[in-house]
Structure 1
Amino acid sequence: MQWFRRSLLAGFFVTVPLIVSVVSLIWLFQWIDGLMGPRLVRWLGQEVPGVGLLATIAGMLIVGAIATNVLGRRLVERAEKSLMRVPIFKTVYAPVKQLLLAFSPDNEYGFKRVVIVEDPERGFVLGFLTKE
């Protein structure tokens, strides 16, 4: 029973932030597509499929470029600090960010590779190597 509860909770805490992130990105694509699509139809005279996806990727690229310089990093830190005071935002954003940072190749302490370890009580278990 303990294995079941632990596995269920672990699955919940991995899948919920992932699902929230994917649903949020899809919503963002559709929202941007709804904003930009009609304008591009008027401007170009035809519908451009995927404009929401392209605009979202371009936006992420711009935010990433800003966030990697000194002033941008300070601005992002202040914005995150302010937003982390909002309970619902904090509940969703913090775990999603932590999970993404764990898999980031730039993170010194992130997951390096998947390993299998023998545990005397549980048998073989999967784990993530974080440091050699």
Structure 2
Amino acid sequence: MENGSLNGTLVLVRPDLTFDPAGGQRKVGVVNYDRPQSNEIYVAFDHGREAIYPPEALVRLKDTQTILNDLTSNGSKMPLDVFKDLYKIIMLLDRGTNTGSRQALEIAGKNPAVWERALQPAKPAEKEVLKKSYSG
């Protein structure tokens, strides 16, 4: 994410989105255009369809190590379906391919119990961005 831009990033339209005129809820897309200070993110879906979303409507996967650490630390306390889905997500991400990442996002989007463990906001909150710029 160069300069805070999401361009080229795979994202999932929030599965819990209550208002979605573009009809992309639970769909995986690629960010075509995002300016760091923008409140609009242009997302391309399959079949050439595009939509514009506010940053808070999109999520992306956490990094593999974060998910793996959670699975290792808390796996024995998780329901079996959550454990299996997180494991599948890790295995797909480990492939390092766009197809694997897309499939991992699709799995995460279908199981509300893994959302908090596997997904994060597509764009960090403005406060976090400022904090990182001062500490870096």
State TM-score, norm by structure 1.
0.28
Please state which structure has a larger fraction of its residues in helix. 1
- Larger relative contact order (Cα-Cα within 8 Å, sequence gap ≥ 6): 2
Greater radius of gyration (CA): 1
Please state which structure has a larger fraction of its residues in strand. 2
